[in-house]
Amino acid sequence: MSRVAIADLTAEPGQRRHGLVRVPGLEPAWEMPAVVVRGRLPGPTLAVTSGMHAAEYVPIEAVTRLTRELDPERLRGTLLAVLLVNSPGFFERSIYVNPRDGRNLNRSFPGSPSGSAAERVANFLLEELIAGSDAYVDAHCGDLIEALSPFTLWLRSADPQVAERARGMAACYGFEHTLGVDPEAVPGAAYAAAALRGVPGIIAEIGEQGICDEPSVRRHLQGLRNVLAHLGMIDAVGEPAAAPQEMDQMVWMRTGVSATYHPTVAVGEWVTEGQPVGELRDIFGDKLEPVTAAAGGLVVFLVTSLAVKEGDPLMGIGVPVAT
């Protein structure tokens, strides 16, 4: 039987319940708002998380709306949703990391029940939400200092059946680009940990720069509905999604120095390998080094802050599948 509860938060068929779920062993308490919508009719279980990064507001709003609009009398199966994973960072407007241990939650899976705060949260989500579900969506957007073009990611190197199911979820979401990746590309990611436990999982990203804009919220919400319909849990809502452009890989560019960052390209632009795409300067405005494209492809992700720290990402270039 598929999972029908998040830890001790559960519901009877035809019920919606919400509450705070607590991660064991952490003081002060780490509590996350969660919702269980259990359909009157039997069906699969979809697990969803948002707010893995606390300032990614579009998916938090979209997932919240999804839990409120679903009719448990008509739903086939169960939706399990954690609306805000990084709750300690939410009102602090933390980017990338959580304030308890300074670690990125989405680089901490599969985690450990006796590890750091991020590892305990990751382990709790994996064991009490994701494992035993039939599918998983980790809803994201660009963080406070990130612009991006909408995309989905899925694990290419999982069990072939799991990978194909995840690929189908990614394709139906309705975003412009999709990419199958290997675990080492984004180590510690929740969707990869799910796939390695036999649960098809995807990341879906739309929205940027700490702006909770209505068009992006609606598109994320529609993507979640598309996945529910794809799984047979609801009837299709709206027109079928257009097929995404498949990317062969995402090439990440990072800075080796702390500096000011001055990109000369924008999200959605095509670049060629070696093309100048910006420069790094010191605080006085003197040029430290040029930034050139590490690959040819589409600028899918771009940091938009003036300040960048050594090791920070600068840009993500999606390399399309050769035709």
* CA pair distance 321, 175, nearest whole angstrom: 16
In this structure, are 164 and 266 located in the same domain? no
51 and 169 within one domain = yes
Region 83-106: what's the mean pLDDT?
97
Split into its structural domains, the chain has a count of 2
Same structural domain, 258 and 233: no
Same domain, 157 and 295: no
pLDDT of amino acid 185: 76
pLDDT at 263: 98
For the entire predicted model, the pTM comes to 0.96
Query: If you average pLDDT over every residue of the chain, what do you get?
Result: 96
CATH at residue 184: 3.40.630.10
Same domain membership, residue 134 and residue 34? yes
Boundary-marking domain end, from 204, 227, 243: 243
- Is 291 a residue whose pLDDT tops 80? yes
Domain check: are 252 and 235 in the same one?
A: no
CATH code assigned at 251: 2.40.50.100
CA-based nearest residue to 151, from 299, 309, 313, 311: 299
Q: What is the mean pLDDT of residues 260-282?
A: 98
Question: How does strand 76-82 pair with strand 41-49?
Answer: parallel
Q: Give the domain range for residue 277.
A: 246-320
Residues 134 and 36 in one domain: yes
pLDDT at 43: 98
Q: What's the average model confidence in pLDDT over 213-225?
A: 98
Distance between CA atoms of residues 12 and 39, nearest Å: 8
- Identify the band that residue 183 occupies on the pLDDT scale cut at 50, 70 and 90: confident
Residues 53, 24 share a domain:
yes
The pLDDT value given to residue 186 = 78
Q: Supply the pLDDT for residue 19.
A: 98
What is residue 144's predicted lDDT score, i.e. its pLDDT? 96
Say yes or no to pLDDT of 320 above 80: yes
- Residues 136-170 have pLDDT tens digits of 999 999 999 999 999 999 999 879 999 999 999 99
Average pLDDT over residues 25-32: 97
Residue linked to tokens 């609606």: 218
Verify that 287 and 156 share a domain, yes or no: no
Whether residue 48 sits in one domain with residue 166: yes
Same domain, residue pair 201 and 119: yes
Question: Given this model, what pLDDT does residue 241 score?
Answer: 87
**Domain match, 61 and 172 both:** yes
What is the per-residue pLDDT for 239? Answer: 85
- Percent of the chain, pLDDT > 70? 99
Residue 323 has pLDDT above 70, yes or no: no
Domain endpoint, select from 220, 243, 266: 243
